[in-house]
Chains A and B, each alone.
Chain A
Amino acid sequence: MHGIGRIPDEVGHLVLSEDGAVIASGGELENAEQFGATIMSLLSCTNKTQLWPGDSGDGFKKISVTYTDHSYVICLSNKNIHVVKRKFVPHDPIKV
């Protein structure tokens, strides 16, 4: 399991099972069960074909919920849902 410090600007993390149970948590998201339920409802509110029709591929790799000063990054790996709360430090694209 990943911990604070391994992901840049991370301030909290949460690992959920596929049915929404909290497996691991830390930082600002420690034991954030209510937050986990919110994430689960976010993931189940729609499916990929409705958002991105005509693409036969699998789902998205990650979902980012971005606020002005922080962001949540959600991805699915090894049948667990990983949520990381990061400080949002926007960067400008490298201009060539």
Chain B
Amino acid sequence: MGCCCSTEQENLSQDGEVNERTHLLSDPVSNNYQVNPSSNEYGNHYSSSVTQKSDEQSALNRILQLTASNIIDVGALECHTLEQHEYIERVRLYNQRLHTLASVKNGVRSRHEPQLLCDIPAAERILSAQPISSADLSLMLTSSQKIVTALSQVRVEHKEDLVVPFGIP
């Protein structure tokens, strides 16, 4: 038993029982570092190399973790297998959507079958209109030829390896 300032060692806390005097956080790191100033030259060097080593290790671990979080390993992804009832449910849903889509499309189709053309009243006038001028025709021919040439020259230029070896020195 003691007051706030009591230096009396409490026996209860030694048993590992949790009370108001037990540390909330254990502090092993500070213990490690506190050794350094009090130790001699040799010990200092030795312990600093140990610290350095563990630092290096943790840095390496950090890099490894960062890399792991940046990689999507497709092979390791577990594929989601569908339950039977889920599968049936989806089939029903997709069929329903397809059906509404088809009916919408049919409705549009039946209204004006050749959607490319509109119905005009005087066909003869349109049909007997003067044909395209030779200048316009040659413009269309040359520009479409240019487009075809340009398209044929489009290609993918690969600059880097597609597969990058990773993590292997």
Contacts and interface: CB of A to CB of B under 8 A. Distances in A.
Bound pair (A, B): yes
Interface of A: 2, 6-8, 18-19, 40, 43-44, 46-48, 51, 57-64, 66, 71, 73-79, 81-82, 84, 86, 88-93
Interface in B96-145: 112-124, 126-137
Contacts, number: 98
Nearest to A83: B127
A74 B123 CA distance: 9
6 contacts: A6-B128, A43-B114, A60-B116, A63-B116, A75-B120, A76-B119
A19 B129 CA distance: 26
Given A18-B114, A61-B118, A76-B120, A88 B127 contact: no
A90 B134 contact: yes
Interface of B is mostly: loop
Contacts of A8: 128
Contacts of B116: 43-44, 46-48, 51, 59-60, 63
Given A75-B126, A76-B120, A86 B114 contact: no
Contacts of A64: 131-132
B131 A71 contact: yes
Contacts of A40: 114
